[in-house]
Amino acid sequence: MALPTASPAAPPDPHPALIAVLDDTARTWLDESAAQVAADPVAVRRLFPAVRRKCGHGHLDAHWSVDEAARAALLTALPLRGQALADEVARLHRHGDPAEQRAVLRALPLLDLGDLALPLVREALRGNDTTLIEAALGPYAAAHLPDAEYRQAVLKCVFCEIPLDRVTGLNTRADRELARMLADFAHERIVAGRAVPQDILPFVQAFPDVVGGRAELQHALTDVLKEEG
Amino acid sequence: MRIFDPHIHMTSRTTDDYEAMYAAGVRAVVEPAFWLGQPRTSPESFYDYFDGLLGWEPYRAAQFGIQHFCTIALNPKEANDPRCLPVLDELDRYLAKDRVVAVGEIGYDSMTPQEDEALARQLQLAIAHELPALVHTPHRDKAAGTRRTLDVVRESGIAPELVVLDHLNELTVGMVLDSGCWAGFSIYPKTKMSEDRMVEILEEHGTERVLVNSAADWGRSDPLKTRKTADAMLAAGFGDDDVDKVLWRNPVAFYGQSGRLELDEPKPDEEATFQGNSIRRGGA
Ligand SMILES: [Zn+2]
């Protein structure tokens, strides 16, 4: 079984796909709004919350919903750089409802922010809304989150029942320490007589020494490998 | 039976309540911003509360198969505290949110000049944001307070069909319906309004422009009062269609005027237990 993981690369700019699905009214609104934002960045504060009602919210592709992609278009139109860009994005996140916050989090890889947006990722990871946790663990977190925090985030996904194939970057970032944490988690579950999520086992299997002498755990892993053939 | 509770403070309720409400047929709720029992002393407390009404509470409700919308406002009681007044300047950004389906609760508590000012200003915000308004009528001196509220509503220029006056009783329902506003009734376990009295009001005034809610909060209250009123209506000879009108179609029509009530219609064959009903708590 290959390690399941979402593509570690940044999602492609959703703008072309978005333009193709918007009707004339919505496309005109978005074009004019992006132009306003480019001319005057403060306009984004008024326009960003209205996006979902103006452009809709259906599914666009594997990465994006229509509203998230349209909000990303406003963010990429911001004529700001560095700390000024980070401050404006953080402000939209602070004042955003969950749909706006998800859009900010998903757009981070499209913005030149360095590590400056990590506080937004951390806020989502502290919370309990799984839709925000998922949105936070995209390519930006995969590229910027320090190892210890990345491992904790993966473990939190396991606790929150977020499938690990929705977490970006595991194929390059899963390490022995994460395997040890997942093995300990699985052991705890087995001892408690509870089910072990199957999607963690390949990550444990990649570092077999973390299983140690724990027979039940070894057993669970062997079962999975048998099924895989 | 599908039920829409147009006024309930779920932030104060438990997951058991959500389960019982779902089992009773409740599929959608509106949670108005109100006071929390303990007075707030800074605007920031309101912003975190509003964020909760837009974030965590709809998320929590969804785990139990219930769609959650909210109304946002500075409530009349706390409008009297000058420390809380800066909230009025920040309402614009909350009233722009998708799940905000009205301005509320606004209205009178003790009928002070500060309450006059907050009510008038927030009715203008409702007009500016093209939202309905949920107006609380005072529990003390109710008839006089309701008359005064109707005067302020009229002076504001907001269309009466965009306004519901809530917590009405036998003495205030007539003037409210005559004004063209909607009439809201909060059914409480004791005093104020009971389901049997509600049925009598419906018999006398009809089902047009009437909303029935539980107004359940952190005080003695019952989140199943909507269902109990529906049962009392059926027992008194009202038909299923009357019940559906009062407890579903009327609140949908009222809040639907916001253009933001993005509602999934409940499926008629839905079972009375919701499968996904374990609240996600996240990692330990
Ligand atoms: Zn209330």
Gap between the Cα atoms of A76 and A112, Å rounded: 9
Gap between the Cα atoms of A95 and A91, Å rounded: 6
Q: Is some CB atom of chain A closer than 8 A to the CB atom of B284?
A: yes
Helix (H) or strand (E) holding B164: strand B163-166
Task: Answer whether residue A121 shows pLDDT above 90.
Answer: yes
Q: What's the pLDDT score for residue A12? A: 75
Q: In angstroms, what is the span from residue A22 Cα to ligand 1's centroid? A: 40
pLDDT digits (tens, 9 = 90+) for B229-253: 999 999 999 999 999 999 999 999 9
Q: What's the pLDDT score for residue A111? A: 96
Nearest to residue A107, comparing CAs of A150, A142, A136, A148?
A136
**Domain assignment present for B233:** yes
Total domains present in chain B: 1
Q: What's the pLDDT score for residue A9? A: 58
Q: What's the pLDDT score for residue A10? A: 59
Helix (H) or strand (E) holding B27: strand B26-32
pLDDT digits (tens, 9 = 90+) for B19-77: 999 999 999 999 999 999 999 999 999 999 999 999 999 999 999 999 999 999 999 99
Strand order in the sheet with B3-5: B3-5, B26-32, B67-72, B100-107, B133-136, B163-166, B182-186, B210-213
Q: What's the pLDDT score for residue A20? A: 93
The reply to whether residue A155 touches residue B259, judged by beta carbons under 8 angstroms, is no
Average pLDDT of chain A to the nearest whole number: 91
Burial A196-213 (b: 16+ CB within 10 A, else e): bbebbbbbbbebeebbee
Is the Cα torsion angle A163, A60, A63, A132 positive or negative in sign? negative
Give the nearest chain A residue to B262 (CA atoms): A53
C-alpha distance from B229 to closest chain A C-alpha (Å): 34
Helix (H) or strand (E) holding A170: helix A170-173
**Domain assignment present for B276:** no
Q: What's the pLDDT score for residue A228? A: 59
**Domain assignment present for B189:** yes
**Domain assignment present for B269:** no
| Pairs of CB atoms within 8 A across A/B | 46
Q: From the candidates B72, B97, B261, B275, which should be mutated to test the interface with A, based on the most A CB atoms within 10 A?
A: B97
pLDDT digits (tens, 9 = 90+) for B151-168: 999 999 999 999 999 999
**Domain assignment present for B272:** no
**Domain assignment present for B100:** yes
Q: What's the pLDDT score for residue A227? A: 65
Q: In angstroms, what is the span from residue B8 Cα to ligand 1's centroid? A: 6
Q: What's the pLDDT score for residue B284? A: 34
Instruction: Specify the amino acid at residue B10.
Output: M
List strand residue ranges (DSSP E) for B33-162, in order: 67-72, 100-107, 133-136
The reply to whether residue B283 touches residue A52, judged by beta carbons under 8 angstroms, is no
Helix (H) or strand (E) holding B254: helix B250-256
C-alpha distance from B51 to closest chain A C-alpha (Å): 7
pLDDT digits (tens, 9 = 90+) for B108-167: 999 999 999 999 999 999 999 999 999 999 989 999 999 999 999 999 999 999 999 999
Percentage above 70 pLDDT, chain B: 94
Structure tokens at A137: 């663990």
Instruction: Specify the amino acid at residue B86.
Output: P
Give the nearest chain A residue to B97 (CA atoms): A49
DSSP three-state, residue B183: strand
**Beta partners for residue A65, in sequence order:** A59
- Tell me the pLDDT band of B268, cut-offs 50, 70 and 90: low
Task: Answer whether residue A63 shows pLDDT above 60.
Answer: yes
Helix (H) or strand (E) holding B4: strand B3-5
C-alpha distance from B103 to closest chain A C-alpha (Å): 17
Facing B97 at nearest CB: one of A97, A130, A161: A97
Provide, as residue numbers in chain B, all residues whose Cβ is less than 8 Å from the Cβ of A131.
59
Task: Answer whether residue A127 shows pLDDT above 60.
Answer: yes
Least confident of A193-207, A211-225, B76-90: A211-225
The reply to whether residue B55 touches residue A98, judged by beta carbons under 8 angstroms, is yes
- Tell me the pLDDT band of B270, cut-offs 50, 70 and 90: low
DSSP three-state, residue A114: coil
Backbone phi, psi, residue A25, to 5°: -60, -45
Task: Give me the CATH number covering residue B168.
Answer: 3.20.20.140
Structure tokens at A217: 């755990």
Q: From the candidates A44, A93, A97, which should be mutated to test the interface with B, based on the most B CB atoms within 10 A?
A: A97
Average pLDDT of chain B to the nearest whole number: 93
Which residues are CB-contacts of B117 (< 8 A; sequence separation ≥ 6)? B79
The reply to whether residue A128 touches residue B99, judged by beta carbons under 8 angstroms, is no
DSSP three-state, residue B70: strand
Helix (H) or strand (E) holding A36: helix A24-39
Q: What's the pLDDT score for residue B275? A: 53
Provide, as residue numbers in chain A, all residues whose Cβ is less than 8 Å from the Cβ of B51.
97
pLDDT digits (tens, 9 = 90+) for A93-120: 999 999 999 999 999 999 999 999 999 9
Q: In angstroms, what is the span from residue B70 Cα to ligand 1's centroid? A: 11
Task: Answer whether residue A218 shows pLDDT above 90.
Answer: no
Percentage above 90 pLDDT, chain B: 90
Nearest to residue A169, comparing CAs of A197, A193, A146?
A146
Q: What's the pLDDT score for residue A226? A: 67
Provide, as residue numbers in chain A, all residues whose Cβ is less than 8 Å from the Cβ of B54.
97-98
The reply to whether residue B93 touches residue A49, judged by beta carbons under 8 angstroms, is yes
ipTM above 0.95, yes or no: no
Q: What's the pLDDT score for residue A223? A: 74
Q: What's the pLDDT score for residue B115? A: 95
**Domain assignment present for B264:** no
Task: Answer whether residue B272 shows pLDDT above 80.
Answer: no
Give mean pLDDT, residues B5-13.
Answer: 98
Which residues are CB-contacts of B216 (< 8 A; sequence separation ≥ 6)? B8, B9, B12, B13, B17, B222, B223, B225
Q: In angstroms, what is the span from residue A174 Cα to ligand 1's centroid? A: 49
Q: What's the pLDDT score for residue B103? A: 98
Gap between the Cα atoms of A147 and A144, Å rounded: 9
Rg (CA), chain A: 20
CB B221 within 8 A of CB B187: no
Percentage above 70 pLDDT, chain A: 93
**Domain assignment present for B270:** no
Give the nearest chain A residue to B99 (CA atoms): A97
Task: Answer whether residue B255 shows pLDDT above 80.
Answer: yes
- Tell me the pLDDT band of A1, cut-offs 50, 70 and 90: very low
Task: Answer whether residue B204 shows pLDDT above 80.
Answer: yes
Provide the residue ranges of all domains of chain A, joining segments of one domain with +. Answer: 15-147
Is the Cα torsion angle B39, B104, B251, A59 positive or negative in sign? negative
Residue B119's domain spans which residues? 3-256
C-alpha distance from B266 to closest chain A C-alpha (Å): 20
CB B188 within 8 A of CB B7: no
On the CB side of A174, CA atoms within 13 Å amount to 28
Q: What's the pLDDT score for residue A220? A: 78
Gap between the Cα atoms of A195 and A184, Å rounded: 14
Task: Answer whether residue B213 shows pLDDT above 80.
Answer: yes
Q: In angstroms, what is the span from residue B49 Cα to ligand 1's centroid? A: 14
Task: Answer whether residue A91 shows pLDDT above 90.
Answer: yes
Nearest to residue A57, comparing CAs of A66, A48, A49?
A66
Q: What's the pLDDT score for residue B282? A: 42
Q: Is some CB atom of chain A closer than 8 A to the CB atom of B239?
A: no
pLDDT digits (tens, 9 = 90+) for B178-199: 999 999 999 999 877 999 999 9
Q: What's the pLDDT score for residue A225? A: 63
Give mean pLDDT, residues A208-217.
Answer: 87
Q: What's the pLDDT score for residue A224? A: 67
